[in-house]
Amino acid sequence: MRFSLTIFLLFFTLFTQATVYKWVDKDGKIHYSDKPIENAETVEFKSNTQNQIKLQAFKANSSTSNDDQDSSTQYNLSITSPDEEETIWNNQGKITIMARISPNLEAKHVLVLLMDGVIVGPPQTSPVFSLKDIDRGEHSFVIKAVAQNGKQLASTPPRKIFLHRAIIRRQATPTLSPGDH
């Protein structure tokens, strides 16, 4: 039943054509309709009639600043050390993050280090970041290449690192006072 209904509807739609009629009213306005009106003409469409929208191609202005042109550099940026999910054992909380960037960083571009989503330290041109006094636990690091205008040019995937700091808390050793035996 469903199959025969589907076939019928397909054939019905193939053989059904919408005719368009055109007429001019007493004020000289042209009207179109799918219903025949007295003195209306049938409109014949060419086979290549299509609705098309052509968008103009974007052209860069010759007055574009050098900052925008400089930021077109495509950097390949990755963290080389420490490894993903590596545990670092350092009681002073020192971590060194090293990255590789290619091509070399241009003079107007800098690198920033984010630890747990927060920028750590000032921007720099060196791909080696030395941190100290980092709390123990899990941390996520990302390095971003940034232009002077603040535009992000490249970013590393997040790198998860674990810092282990042995904390020795010396508790007061109980001493015996005279007479307490």
Residue ranges making up the domain that contains 36: 18-44
Tell me, yes or no, whether 99 and 32 share the same domain: no
Tell me, yes or no, whether 157 and 86 share the same domain: yes
| 50 located within any domain | no
Residue type, 156: T
Tell me, yes or no, whether 36 and 104 share the same domain: no
Tell me, yes or no, whether 114 and 157 share the same domain: yes
In the prediction, which pLDDT does 45 show?
A: 66
| 9 located within any domain | no
Residues 6+ apart with CB under 8 A from 160: 84, 85, 138, 139, 140
pLDDT in 10s for each residue of the chain, 181 residues: 777 777 776 666 655 566 788 888 888 888 888 888 888 888 776 666 555 555 555 444 444 444 444 456 788 999 999 999 999 999 899 999 999 998 888 888 999 999 999 999 899 999 999 999 999 899 999 999 998 888 889 999 999 999 998 865 555 556 555 655 5
Within the chain, where are the H helices? 2-15, 66-70
Give the chain's domain count: 2
- Other CB atoms within a 10 A radius of the CB of residue 71 amount to 20
Q: Would you say how long the chain is, in residues?
A: 181
- Other CB atoms within a 10 A radius of the CB of residue 165 amount to 16
Residue reference for tokens 């490894």: 83
| 176 located within any domain | no
End-to-end CA distance of the chain: 101
Q: Are 73 and 109 in contact, with CB atoms under 8 Å apart? A: yes
Q: Are 88 and 164 in contact, with CB atoms under 8 Å apart? A: yes
